[in-house]
Amino acid sequence: MEMNEIKMYFNSENKDNIVLLLLDDDNLILHSYLFDPNNQNKFALINKICDAIVNLDNSANKEDILKLLKDFFDDDVNNGLFRNEIGIILSREIFGPDYKGKTSEKQLMDFLRYRDIWKIFPKAVKKCLHRKLYSYNSLNGNIFMGYPFEIIESCVRNFNINANTYTRLSVPGLHMLLHKRYYNPNSHIQKKNISRVKKQIIKIFLLYKSRYPIGLALRHDLYKLPAKFIKEILRLFYSEKTR
C-alpha cells in the first residue's frame, strides 16, 4: 500500500466508515485529537484508523499502514483536510435526512460563539428527568469548579427553570439536543435519554472544533463540562442513595 492509497481512504466512501467508527467509540478519540492534539492522542487515532483500514482491506499490512498513517498525520495540510472531512460527516450526522428543524449549521455554531448553548444544554438535560422533578430548582453551582463563573451560573440557572414552562420546540436549538421521544417515566430510559443529550452535544462541539480549530468558544476546557454536569445530575437523581 502506498501513500496515495492511504489518501484515498480519506477521499472515498471508506472515509465515512472510518470517521463513523471513531464517532461510535463514544467520541473519545476524536475528542482528544481535536481538543488536545498531543502525540499520544494522535497515536490512538492512528491505531484506530489502522484497525479500520485492515478490517476494510484484508490484504493490508498493519505495520506498513501504521507508518503511512504516521507520515500522513505529521503533515499539517493532511490534518486540516482530515478535520474538514470530520466536519462534513458530523454535519451530516447532526443534520440528517430526518432532520426537520429550522436551525442551520451557522446558527448552531453561533449558539456556541455567543454562549447560548449553556442555556440550551441544561434545559435539555432537565427535560429528560421524571416530570415529578421538572420543578426541582436547587442545583448548586459550587459543585462545578474550574470553569468561568458566568458559564456555570447559566447552566445552573437554566437547569433550575421549571421544565413545564418550555417545550422541545419553544426554545431555539433545544430540538438539536433532544430526541422527539425525550420523555419516559422509566428511570433506565431517562438515563439513556440523558446519555443521548451528552453524545449529541459532544458531536456539536466536535463539529465546532473541526470547523474552527482555533475558535475560542470552548476555551477553559469547556468541552469537558457537559460530561461533568451530567455526571452530577446522575449522582443527584439516579444514585442508589437518592432512590
Whole-number pLDDT of residue 228: 92
**80-104 pLDDT tens trace:** 888 988 898 899 889 887 777 889 9
| Single-letter amino acid, residue 167 | T
Sign of the alpha-carbon dihedral angle for 155, 193, 163, 240: negative
Average pLDDT over residues 176-196: 93
Q: What is the pTM of this model?
A: 0.89
- Judged against a pLDDT cut of 90, whether residue 41 lies above it is answered with no
Tell me the C-alpha distance between 222 and 232, whole Å.
Answer: 16
**118-129 pLDDT tens trace:** 999 999 999 999
The secondary structure of 24-73 as a DSSP string is: HTTTHHHHHHHHS--HHHHHHHHHHHHHHHHHH-TT--HHHHHHHHHHHH
**106-148 pLDDT tens trace:** 999 999 999 999 999 999 999 999 999 999 888 877 777 889 9
Which grid cell is 7? Answer: 489518501
Whole-number pLDDT of residue 126: 97
